[in-house]
A = this chain, B = another copy of it.
Amino acid sequence: MARLKTRVTSFDVAKLAGVSQPAVSRAFTPGASITKEKRDRILAAAKELNYVPNVFASNLSSNRSNMVAVISGNLNNPFYSETLQVFVESIQRTNRQVLAFSVQDGRDSDDVMMQAMRYPIDGLVVTSAQMSSELVKLSEGLGIPVVMFNRRVEGSELSGVQCDNFEGSAILGRLMNAAGARRILIVRGDPQGSTSIDRVQGFRSAFDGIAGIEIEEVDGESSYSGARNAMIRRFGGPGPRFPDAIFAVNDIMAIGCADALNENFGLKIPDDIMLAGFDGIREGQRAPYSLTTVRQPVERMVSETLELLQAAPENLKGAEAQKRVIPGDLIPGHTIPGMGRWAR
């Protein structure tokens, strides 16, 4: 609650430069009608006084804002921290600012979003969190465009951008099937999260109608350690029967599985057991893993999200809600055998 020092105002600069206050405002507004000579004089005076326009006052007066709020969840997942990074860079590139919020998994994101909406923001991006219908109503009332990132939205009243989780996972499923997977373990993420649900369903769809398939599911808690512990718990007992294949609904869990299988059970991937993830995070691509996965095209997803934010709020909700589903890119990797033909 720091009390701000009395700032140098545009009046002070105006006085020093011998002009009026609006002139100062114009000097700082690109394209405003003002003589170059006068502008230079004003800018010199401003520099001398260490003056910079107060954004709050400016926003209040002009009734516009250049801030986009980004609410991220689960920043422990490198995919989301990469996403945040791309958002920051993209938004900054368009001369806007990022108001960053973080929501602990499953915590009251409503509070955080409420905080965000007290700012006259240009838009709100929500990654991996739910939004109560009450908040949707509020955002409507405030005229704030909202776009859900990588979240299928219940009731479909909100706009969103997401990767084609179903089809991407289906592709992985088909590859595993072709590679001979029969006994399969799926490592789920958040059981409520649409991402995990869609990926599980997509993956399972690849095995529909195929005889002799056993599919089991365990909870990996969307995290490295969650998945790792799930492996240890599941296979730690006496004489475990290992599956042929493991599909983790995200890469960070796949990596957790790989480490546990290697270190705790001495299994080789893909010789003893095949593995796939989803997301395409950097660490999964590195030599020790070379994970077979589907990459979410983050750059494109982010740019489409920002594009949607330009739309009027009323065009982002209800019947007008825009759903953009972007196909993922298969990364062959080396954790499913027989993928030589995919290599470039």
Contacts and interface: CB of A to CB of B under 8 A. Distances in A.
A119 B263 contact: no
Nearest to A143: B5
Interface stretch (A19-27, A46-54, A190-198, A271-279): A46-54
Nearest to A60: B56
Interface residues of A, number: 68
A142 B85 contact: no
Given A100-B88, A118-B53, A118-B55, A142 B65 contact: no
Interface stretch (A91-99, A170-178, A242-250): A91-99
Contact of A89 (B102, B283, B287, B310): B102
A59 interface: yes
Interface in A64-78: 64-67, 75-76, 78
A325 to B, nearest CB: 25
Contacts of A92: 101-102, 112
Contacts of A3: 63-64
Contact of A97 (B57, B115, B263): B115
B50 A137 contact: yes
A88 B65 contact: no
Contacts of A120: 4, 7, 54-56
A218 interface: no
Contacts of A5: 142-143, 313
A121 to B, nearest CB: 9
Interface of A: 1-5, 7-8, 49-50, 52-57, 59-60, 63-67, 75-76, 78, 81-82, 84-85, 88-89, 92, 97-102, 104, 112, 114-115, 117-120, 122-123, 137-138, 140-143, 145, 224, 255, 259, 262-263, 282-283, 286-289, 310, 313
Given A2-B123, A100-B100, 10 more contacts: A4-B65, A5-B142, A50-B137, A50-B141, A52-B118, A54-B60, A75-B81, A84-B84, A92-B112, A288-B288
- Can you list the 7 inter-chain pairs with the closest CB atoms, starting with the nearest? A50-B141, A5-B143, A288-B288, A259-B287, A100-B100, A263-B287, A81-B81
9 contacts: A2-B145, A2-B310, A53-B118, A55-B120, A60-B60, A81-B81, A92-B101, A97-B99, A262-B287
